[in-house]
Amino acid sequence: NAGVTQTPKFQVLKTGQSMTLQCAQDMNHNSMYWYRQDPGMGLRLIYYSASEGTTDKGEVPNGYNVSRLNKREFSLRLESAAPSQTSVYFCASSKRGIETEAFFGQGTRLTVV
Amino acid sequence: GIQVEQSPPDLILQEGANSTLRCNFSDSVNNLQWFHQNPWGQLINLFYIPSGTKQNGRLSATTVATERYSLLYISSSQTTDSGVYFCAAYTSGSRLTFGEGTQLTVNP
């Protein structure tokens, strides 16, 4: 039982490049989330998916797109990376929305140069 | 939206000391979690605590939802307790909102 798995763990991009961060959970959870954490700060919600087939914007959605591929997988795409998107990205899942305990992946450290 | 405030922002302890971390939230919440982010960046679940008190070894937490705060107690601290402690509050609209954390350093 791996929990929430993110790939890759580290990535360096040049400004303007695109990439997709992958997230998969094996806990049969309905809800999944993407957060970013900037140095010295808490986590801010980018997008979430309350259930398979739905996605909604969070606090900082600009510059990102998401896809809920199936119940297990939720990907985050940067279409044209900018230095302001340098951050650590965390994926999380919970059983049935915000009123149940959320579990986090190990994070992806992204640097945009 | 809801504001989540944690105090103190920084805390330095000697090994063996006790501490209390506080989390205030500006509106009613559906639920609350405490996390420990270790020096490697991993977020570890400590407590899922909508109300009342829970204990897990040297750690315990209390949430008083009607008064909009939660407390995390660490007793007999160890160097491995170092890291950042976050509280995160659940609000309507499926948002889990984080505070800015308390940076804890436990010296040997």
Q: Is the pLDDT of residue A76 over 90?
A: yes
Mean pLDDT, range A78-106, rounded to an integer: 90
φ, ψ (nearest 5 deg) of residue A68: -95, 95
Question: What is the band of A95 on the pLDDT scale with cuts at 50, 70, 90?
Answer: confident
Option in B43, B88, B94 nearest A97 (CB): B94
Question: Does residue A58 sit in helix, strand or coil?
Answer: coil
Q: Tell me the CA distances in angstroms from A102 to A90, A98, B1, one per residue in order.
A: 12, 8, 20
Structure tokens at B12: 């330095």
Mean pLDDT, range A90-96, rounded to an integer: 90
Q: Do A101 and B45 touch (CB under 8 A)?
A: yes
Residue of B nearest to A56 (CA): B94
Percent of chain A with pLDDT over 70: 96
Of B23, B2, B24, B20, nearest to B11 by C-alpha is: B20
Structure tokens at B69: 């705060």
Which of B94, B95, B102, B103 would best serve as a mutation to test chain A binding (most A beta carbons within 10 A)?
B94
Report yes or no: B97 at the A interface, CB cutoff 8 Å. yes
DSSP for A4-48 reads EEEE-SEEEE-TT--EEEEEEE-S--SEEEEEEE-TTS-EEEEEE
Report yes or no: B56 at the A interface, CB cutoff 8 Å. no
Report yes or no: B43 at the A interface, CB cutoff 8 Å. yes
Would you state the pLDDT for residue B74?
Answer: 97
Residue of B nearest to A49 (CA): B94
φ, ψ (nearest 5 deg) of residue B3: -110, 135
Write out chain B's pLDDT in tens, 108 residues: 778 999 999 999 999 999 999 999 988 777 899 999 998 899 999 999 988 999 999 999 999 988 999 999 999 999 999 999 999 988 765 678 899 999 999 999
Would you state the pLDDT for residue B100?
Answer: 93
Which residues of A fall below an 8 Å CB-CB distance to B? Answer: 31, 33, 35, 40-45, 48, 50, 56, 58-59, 88, 90, 92, 97-104, 106-107, 109
Q: Is the pLDDT of residue A98 over 70?
A: no
Q: Tell me the CA distances in angstroms from B79 to B12, B14, B42, B103, one per residue in order.
A: 11, 9, 16, 13
Question: What is the band of A111 on the pLDDT scale with cuts at 50, 70, 90?
Answer: very high
